[in-house]
Amino acid sequence: MSVPDGTNRGIRISDADRQRAAERLHNALAEGRITLTELEERLGVVYSARYEADLLPPLADLPGGPPAVAAGGLTVPAEKPLVLRTGMGPLRRAGSWVVPSRLRLQSAMGSAVLDFCDTAVPHAVVEIELDLGAGSARILVPDDATADADGVVAAMGRVRCSVPSSPRHGVPHFRVFGRTGMGSVTVRRRYRFAGYRF
């Protein structure tokens, strides 16, 4: 369950971050999701964790998404997520729209576009949880934004992120996680060509 040395494991975590992860594991044991042996094994990983990415493996198959870690001193969203759903049809959010700090996107076979380029992003961190079947998701972020899509687990689909993943103060940071079956996930800035942006 360890992350190899030399990889980008994100920011260093605090004792409070480890404690929150441990509480989730104890809850999972109480709910019957994991055994006592699994709890002991995963707690060992949690208490020895030094970086944000170290906390992902022991929690990856439990509900609730990745652990909420304060990224570079940024405030982690605490509100309930706005849920966007589509079956087979397209879904698009673009232009000027109200951006919550947490979103959950669910798509069976439809394509979804979340465009944050032409609207105000009032949050330091925006969390986007994906639950995709054969549907695809394209997430367009502002030019100065950062994004981390390492928390997306793909079965047969493809995940691409062309945006710097390390958060920086003063610019929005997008944390994308969840799962995709056969659908693709793309996180990028807008392309520019002949004066057009798309």
The domain ranges of the chain are 1-69, 72-192+194-198
pLDDT of residue 198: 56
The whole-number pLDDT of residue 23 equals: 79
pLDDT at 3: 45
List residues bridging with 139 in a β-sheet.
114, 187
Residues of the chain under the 70 pLDDT cut: 1-10, 64-79, 193-198
Q: What is the pLDDT of residue 187?
A: 97
CA–CA gap between residue 38 and residue 102 (Å, rounded): 30
User: Distance between CA 156 and CA 133 in Å, rounded?
Assistant: 10
Residue 85: predicted pLDDT: 92
SS3 195: coil
Helices 36-48 and 15-30: angle between axes, nearest 10 degrees: 170
